Amino acid sequence: MKLSGFNTPATLTPPPMTEAWRFSNIAGQLPAELRAATATKTNADVVLSGGLAVVNQLPAGIEVAAAKSESTSDFWATLPTLGGRVHLKVTHSPERPLRVRIARDTTSADEATLAQLLIEIAPAMKLTLEQEITGSSAGLTATQTTLKLATDAHVDHAIALLEGAEALHVAGFHSELAERAQLSQTFVVVGGKMTRLQVSAHMNGAGAHASLASITALQGKSQVDLNSSLRHNAANTTAKQLAKNLLDGESKAIFTGRVYIARDAQLVAAEQMNRNLLLSKKAHAIGQPQLEIFADDVKCSHGSTTGQIEEDAQFYLLSRGIPAERARALLTKAFIAEVIHNAPDSLRGFLGGRV
């Protein structure tokens, strides 16, 4: 595949399909030539669009560092590094959220936004991050967002990913947590022909905590494949994950949740839940938890439910005079609201406005 219009012109060979990508063979659908999409201008603090990165302003306490890339042979890890790159350091807790916008404003299948964002958070500092990733009717967005949390650092991160009907999307979110660092990530995902989310959190320091929640709302023939990996590399680390999918039309959601607990990582608590609400007969959900536990003193739970709106809940609303259509709408809204309600206070407004 030939890439043009990006910082580094390159020719890359899309990888053959592997087991991990069997539901979402995005590499197999890429065009022979991919051009940088025309950059979108917005007033967000950081804008990544087409092949460009623009820093408009930054809240006090955050500074720009020289972008660097670690060389990798992985196709999907390399692709974002060819586009706009921003490396930030949070040296003091900013008083307001950092707003990052990744945009692709194109209608053509051979146009793309490639972007890489790296944020390092200094010890004991707190960052609230609002990240909006928007696409349009067609094209590709491939991004990588990396967060490195030092000891006692705290990040509240909200991601709203809104894609167009024919768009392809691969978004990586990788976090590394030192001792007692705390990460909360809430995802709202809407639409897209095929979206692959690769979410990983490595809890490398004792006492680190990661909390991940996502709500995906799909209709038509949209498909979202959430592939997550939570690695407990140290003792006393805790993680909580809630992955919800609301599926209408002929849409499809895949959730693969890997939980890895290293041999020495005792007293780990890991909780994982996957819930799917099917609004139509042709909607489809696949859930596959993967637990790799090598320590013996751990608390680990996981579960998956798939169903339609419960008859008892529906009847409860009917029995109070609420008509069937409205009862269904309320229960659907409630399914989404659980994720929003559980998000940190400061991010609820941002997330609620984007579902």
Partner 1 sequence: MLEVKNLSAQVEGSEILKGINLTVKAGEVHAIMGPNGSGKSTLAKVIAGHPAYEVTGGSVSFDVNRKPVDLLELDPDVRAKEGVFLGFQYPVEIPGVTNVDFLREAFNEVCAHQGLDKLDDAQFKSLVREKLKLLDMDERFLERDVNAGFSGGEKKKNEILQMAILNPRLALLDETDSGLDIDALRIVSKGVNAIKSRFNAIVLVTHYQRLLDLIVPDYVHVLYKGRIIKSGDKSLALELEKKGYDWLIAEAEEKH
CB of 244 to partner 1, least distance (A): 11
User: Quick check: 224 and 192 in contact, CB under 8 A?
Assistant: yes
Among 247, 336, 343, 351, binds partner 1 (CB under 8 A): 336
Q: Cα separations (Å) of 254 from 155, 285, 350?
A: 27, 6, 25
Stretch that binds partner 1, among 21-29, 157-165, 298-306, 320-328 (CB under 8 A): 320-328
- Check residue 316 for interaction with partner 1 (CB under 8 A): yes
Nearer to partner 1 among residue 96 and residue 333 (C-beta):
333
- Check residue 323 for interaction with partner 1 (CB under 8 A): yes
- Check residue 338 for interaction with partner 1 (CB under 8 A): yes
Footprint (CB under 8 A) of partner 1, residues 10-69: none
CB of 158 to partner 1, least distance (A): 18
Stretch that binds partner 1, among 176-184, 217-225, 233-241, 331-339 (CB under 8 A): 331-339
Footprint (CB under 8 A) of partner 1, residues 283-312: 310-312
CB of 328 to partner 1, least distance (A): 12
CB of 100 to partner 1, least distance (A): 28
CB of 214 to partner 1, least distance (A): 15
Binding-site size for partner 1 (CB under 8 A) equals: 25
Among 333, 346, 349, 353, binds partner 1 (CB under 8 A): 333
Among 73, 95, 320, 345, binds partner 1 (CB under 8 A): 320
- Check residue 318 for interaction with partner 1 (CB under 8 A): yes
Backbone angles phi, psi at 14, to 5 degrees: -60, 140
Nearer to partner 1 among residue 73 and residue 319 (C-beta):
319
| Torsion over CA: 8, 14, 19, 21 (sign) | positive
CB of 280 to partner 1, least distance (A): 19
CB of 226 to partner 1, least distance (A): 21
Binding site for partner 1 (CB under 8 A): 310-313, 315-324, 326-327, 330-331, 333-338, 341
